[in-house]
Amino acid sequence: MRAILPILFALLLVNASIAAEVSATRLDGSTVAGELQVWDDKQAVIRTSDGEQQIDDDELLSLRWLPEAPDMGDPATTPSQVELTDGSRLPVSDFQSKDARANVTLVVPAATREQSLIIARKQLAAVHLQPLDPTLTEQWREIRELKPAADVLVLLKKDGKSLDYVEGVLGNVTPKKIEFELDGDAVRIDRERVAGFIYFRREESSQPEPRFVVHSRGGLQANVAHAHLADDTVRLTTTSGVEFQWPLDDVYLADFSAGKLVCLSDLEPASENWTPLVGLPANAALAAEYGKVRRNRSAHGGPLTLASPDDLLSADGRMRTYNKGLAIRSRTELVYRLPAGYRRLNAVAGIDPSARSSGNVRLEILGDDRPLLETEVAGNDAPHTIDLDIAGVKRLKIIVDFGKNLDTGDWLNLCDLRIVK
């Protein structure tokens, strides 16, 4: 038995030191997969089969853990949460406040004990005091986007099936009551009647750009200024200065793209012109809508997809789905004014799989009227990977022109279309 104990102890140490499996993507699109060893304000260090790989913070685009996205299913309610002035959202099980401070209890998955925080009132933007029925989400969003002249108290009406709000001055929040000054009169409202509240800010809070945004399966979305990996926990400090810990195995994404990458589908073009092969009558408004560029969706309303011929001919018809990009009809000309400091334009281009048998277009990309790319894209081609130097370019023009089959099946998907610093 004594001989076995040291072996068991050694195995426990090994298991305790197993690092998180992660896939890191650099700005140039290359990836590194392995065990996350170090994660701090300067770098991520990943142990791979070829040794340790160090990726500096300014070269990181994302860190992803499997599964890549949470299986949210069809949630019955929107959970209680605290929204900070920097845009971070923290899932909570309790919120109480007195004077200039709030006591918050975080809902931390798999934690052995609840995590309590003290947050200054000036760091708070809004509070979902209790879970909301999904049918109320849009009402909450509309109230949240108001520009009130005072604090806003959001009330549950019609047995929790509707929301209403009043403006006034928010006081202390206790386990039973919400103190509120309405038209100069102090009232104490039963907490169970209150959906949440929004703190008045005389002007928009100026926050530094986050280094990255953490997304967790437990509902955390944090705009992070500082991070430090400690065993199986990551210590986070938001850009508004709130500090807390979170279990690493609940994190599925650290998004470093803010300030480094812009998706063109998130930008408004300076101009967009579609010229159909056959001219349309002046009153053909519905037909004119058909040729407009689709953002982050296909020509037919579904997700953007691309596939190589081998994938399309396989038994299961595998296709890759993209969250971001443009679906463009021939003949279309798009012009974008680019923000300064971006060096590369990246995309994956291909004909929409629904039109692979006939689609054929000419794709041209110009920077300040200088040709950067001229190529043919056909439906039976594998997707084209695009990587262009746009350093110093102020005006980007994308032209999708008629190909060999005139305009038959001419829907080009430009997926993951983005500019990168």
- Any domain includes 13: no
Answer yes or no: do 90 and 190 share one domain: yes
Asked, for residue 3, whether it belongs to a domain, the answer is no
- CA gap 72, 75 in Å, rounded: 7
Q: Who contacts 369 (Cβ-Cβ below 8 Å, separation ≥6)? A: 395, 397
Detail the DSSP E strand segments found in 99-132. 101-106, 115-120, 124-128
Domain boundary among 5, 34, 64: 64
Least confident of 30-39, 215-224, 313-322, 373-382: 313-322
Last residue of a domain, which of 31, 64, 97?
64
**Residue 385 belongs to what domain range?**
263-420
Which candidate, 246, 223, 231, 237, places its Cα nearest to that of 107? 246
Q: Based on the domain organization, do 27 and 161 belong to the same domain? A: no
Residues 295 and 382 in one domain: yes
CATH number of the domain encompassing residue 358: 2.60.120.1060
Residue 341 lies in a domain: yes
Give the tens place of pLDDT for each residue, 403-417: 887 777 689 999 999
Q: Are residues 206 and 318 in the same domain?
A: no
249 shares its domain with 305: no
Residue 111 and residue 54 share a domain: no
Average pLDDT over residues 307-320: 57
- pLDDT confidence bin for 225, thresholds 50/70/90: very high
Rounded CA separation 352/366 (Å): 23
Average per-residue pLDDT for the chain? 85
Asked whether residue 5 is domain-assigned, the answer is no
Residue 40 within any structural domain of the chain: yes
pLDDT band of 321, cuts 50, 70, 90:
confident
Q: Please give the helix or strand (H or E) that residue 61 lies within, else none.
A: strand 60-64
Q: Who's near 303: CB < 8 A, 6+ residues apart?
A: 297, 321, 322, 323
Same domain, 244 and 291: no
Which residue would you say has higher pLDDT here, 142 or 132?
Answer: 142
Q: Give the highest mean pLDDT range of 7-21, 203-217, 330-344.
A: 330-344
The structural domain count of the chain equals 3
* Nearest C-alpha neighbor of 325 from the set 297, 351, 290, 363: 297
C-beta atoms surrounding 296 within 10 Å: 16
What is the value of pTM for the model shown? 0.71
Of the residues 255, 273, 301, which one is the last residue of a structural domain? Answer: 255
What count of residues does the chain have?
Answer: 421
Geometric angle at alpha carbon 162, from 159 and 165, rounded to 5°: 110
What's the CA gap between 383 and 327, in Å, rounded?
14
Instruction: Supply the pLDDT for residue 160.
Output: 77
Q: Can you read off the two tokens belonging to residue 83?
A: 């929204």
Is residue 359 within 8 Å of residue 311, measured between CB atoms? Answer: no
Pair (94, 199) in one structural domain: yes
Residue 400 lies in a domain: yes
**Domain presence at residue 91:** yes
Q: Which CATH number characterizes residue 42's domain?
A: 2.30.30.100
Q: How far apart are CA 354 and CA 357, in angstroms?
A: 8
Cα distances (Å, whole numbers) of residue 20 to 35, 63, 415 = 5, 11, 30
Tell me, yes or no, whether 359 and 409 share the same domain.
Answer: yes
Q: Do 341 and 416 lie in a common domain?
A: yes
Shared domain check, 393 and 247 = no
In this prediction, residue 258 has a pLDDT band, given cuts at 50, 70 and 90, of confident
Q: Are 304 and 413 in contact (CB under 8 A)?
A: yes
Same domain (yes/no): 49, 89: no
With respect to residue 394, please indicate whether it lies within any of the assigned structural domains. yes
Q: How high is the pLDDT of residue 365?
A: 98
Mean pLDDT check: name the lowest of 110-114, 216-220, 408-412, 416-420: 110-114
The pLDDT assigned to 74 comes to: 46
Separation between Cα atoms, residue 3 and residue 9, nearest integer Å: 11
